[in-house]
Structure 1
């Protein structure tokens, strides 16, 4: 009897241990699958639904180990660096983002040779030597797509008389390349971008058109009113509405004598609305994308005002609360005018401010940039981080304010085209075009394409 009781107790204990072990295994399994979910593969250039491609890992490249990829990942919000090669064509310029877990990759590790031997044939003291070289191809593969490079190459191939200047095999290769570019860029056809900004962005628009044989057309009312860059081959237009600060009046001390109208409300009626027909996209009510910025004119406005009253014009001073509050209120007013004109669902981006080559004056410009970021966040508007990315690249300026044609203008083009691609329903994941817009002749709901990742980008980590 005692033996039977002990046996039953032993069986019960073993059973409890077994149940506990199974429960532990089950909990571990659930924890593992929750933390490291298995995902399906992304197929390049696929056109599947958002549900099918959301939070999927690239099975072909796996650029970053053990990283869950999502369709809502903006490469221009990641830390990174601008890569350009002085010996190559400027369209080779690209933004190289640093994604999470990048340092786990073998190509990111630097192995230094022993300092007991010369590091380089021309180095005798054994100090570390870092020769100039392009980033590893694995990094370039996950960089954002270079749309400007595609556009320029398409133009060059289309312009060239390949039939008379090359052999049959070379001509066939170029024809195939041209067709490939045509298919990849077809979404660009019939699109409209409105840029409400200053001459910094106007110059960038002009550089895009100059590279493909077109110029910038200015309104008969002057350069600082309205201008547009139209690409007939794609029926693609960049419309520029020049904004000369957020001042509600034209002060008597205004420093540009030939500028008859300063305030936005009057400029809207006199300069902007006459170009409206060339600004409206295929939906009949709005452009496909709006890029908005105001800052450099406002900076001069705040410094020159006290100077006109007999005070010292201290360019390096910090702006005060009254100035910043005024700037933010008027900035909100301009955005409200844009939304009233084109609808609340029109995609709008605010460009971060570019600094001046004159370093002392940048203190108050940075004040404006931070105030603008606050307003954009309150108005649920994303930031185009062009100004932040190029901060300090003064050698690429053409004067104290404007950025010259070159690597930075290519970067600007790639950034704005990346956002336009998104409004058309396109999805890019770490260099792969995983979802292409369907048809360039259809009316596209740009708000739908924009809103797919809008909340993610608004809440993205800022480094």
Structure 2
């Protein structure tokens, strides 16, 4: 009996030793194990927890190049430093945000080095001055740029119309264009039945209108006026961009208000009178909220604060900075509006705050920047991500149609691509440096957008700002 007990004791000790030794081996070799390269059959939350967050530069230096699926899935190209590439001011097809990633200055980008010509640019320049011909970025940079969703949608629209013409002509040939259209349909299927709510001003309303116009459609305005509610509905995808127009965060309509035809200014009344009647067209497939909310207010508030002294016989000073009481009031009201959105649609609805766009009048932008920073603070406190459109296009005044609004062109394509990039994320899509490594499974199924959004939400909230 004693021998039996001794053997049992030795067996237990040996088993513990084997397990301990195995754990030590695993700890030693873990850094050399292969990383996950496909997300198609894996839970994204688990993938995010297991993919290393080591510095991108060290991962790229491993020799696998910049376009690499092994990189962190929570890398937002629109939070990287970069620049807007466009071939000219009216061209829409060749427009993209070109992010600057680590290894940008490596030898693989030698084509970006300075090249000189033997002749000066014109007779008035001295010999030997460098000459930089206009050309597109190196293909390596374009390959890691965010996917051009708007270009895909427009291309599909054109091919779809051409295929209808082909059928009417009696031809049944499967041309290259037909195959391309089918490929685009497979890539865009996740757009079906989606809803985007844009609580903002006319800057974003025009951007929605440009999307509709590019697809041969018109923006529909509420019968109560375009400065109340309007929407771009795309029947092909049953996709709707709903715009709730916000006219500052003022709780009243001041006597000095410059648009007398605007009967209701304060958000609470506009909510009941203008917004709620369109609620059914705003709710997505989950039955309670849109798939994505884009929020912004600032330009109307700017005028509200600057012109306020007129109520007591004072004068407006457009170049002044806002004072603390104005900023605190603005922040309280912004927080109130976001709280109203969450109470209406649920605490888990994906919301983004768009950074403010500037006016062409440079002196007045001092106080607009005050508002932008105040709004950023509120959104950060409320755990809301920033859509950096206003920051990215800061100073691109040649693309404005007037003193305030951005015209149709490269910047409007950029706006659309950014919005669809974030909508793609709500549907479970994963893009890593221009590579669509996971597509939403089905464009008609109900997606838990809150779960998909939260997969990378913490990373994007803490992303480095340049």
Q: Which residue is 2:37 aligned to?
A: 42
**SS of equivalent to 2:130:** coil
Contact 2:203 2:404 in 1 (8 A): yes
Q: Which residue is 1:295 aligned to?
A: 298
**SS of equivalent to 1:103:** coil
Structure 2 unaligned blocks of 5 or more? 1-23, 53-58
**SS of equivalent to 1:391:** coil
State the number of aligned residues: 431
Q: Which residue is 1:201 aligned to?
A: 204
How does 1:324-363 map onto structure 2 within 5 Å? 324-363=327-366
Contact 2:355 2:391 in 1 (8 A): yes
Residue 139 (structure 2) pairs with residue 143 (structure 1): no
**SS of equivalent to 1:237:** strand
CA spacing shift, 1:124–1:248, aligned 2, 3 Å? closer
Residue 320 (structure 2) pairs with residue 317 (structure 1): yes
CA spacing shift, 1:98–1:414, aligned 2, 3 Å? same
TM-score (structure 2 length as normaliser): 0.86
Please report how far the alpha carbon of residue 112 of structure 1 lies from its aligned counterpart in structure 2 after TM superposition: 4.3
Contact 1:187 1:439 in 2 (8 A): yes
Deviations 1:316-356 (Å, cap 9, x if unpaired)? 00000000000000000000000000000000000000000
Contact 2:228 2:245 in 1 (8 A): yes
Residue 152 (structure 2) pairs with residue 156 (structure 1): no
Contact 2:195 2:242 in 1 (8 A): yes
Structure 1 unaligned blocks of 5 or more? 1-25
Please report how far the alpha carbon of residue 38 of structure 1 lies from its aligned counterpart in structure 2 after TM superposition: 5.2
Question: Partners of 1:93 and 1:308 in 2: how far apart?
Answer: 45
How does 1:57-456 map onto structure 2 within 5 Å? 62-64=64-66, 69-86=71-88, 89-108=91-110, 110-112=112-114, 117-118=118-119, 125-160=127-162, 161-162=165-166, 171-456=174-459
Contact 1:63 1:142 in 2 (8 A): no
Deviations 1:21-46 (Å, cap 9, x if unpaired)? xxxxx9xx96x975xx6543635x94
CA spacing shift, 1:431–1:320, aligned 2, 3 Å? same
Question: Partners of 1:124 and 1:295 in 2: how far apart?
Answer: 47
TM-score (structure 1 length as normaliser): 0.87
CA spacing shift, 1:155–1:314, aligned 2, 3 Å? same
Please report how far the alpha carbon of residue 63 of structure 1 lies from its aligned counterpart in structure 2 after TM superposition: 4.0
Please report how far the alpha carbon of residue 120 of structure 1 lies from its aligned counterpart in structure 2 after TM superposition: 7.9
Question: Partners of 1:354 and 1:185 in 2: how far apart?
Answer: 29
**SS of equivalent to 2:338:** helix
Using the TM superposition, name which of 103-112 and 49-58 deviates more: 49-58
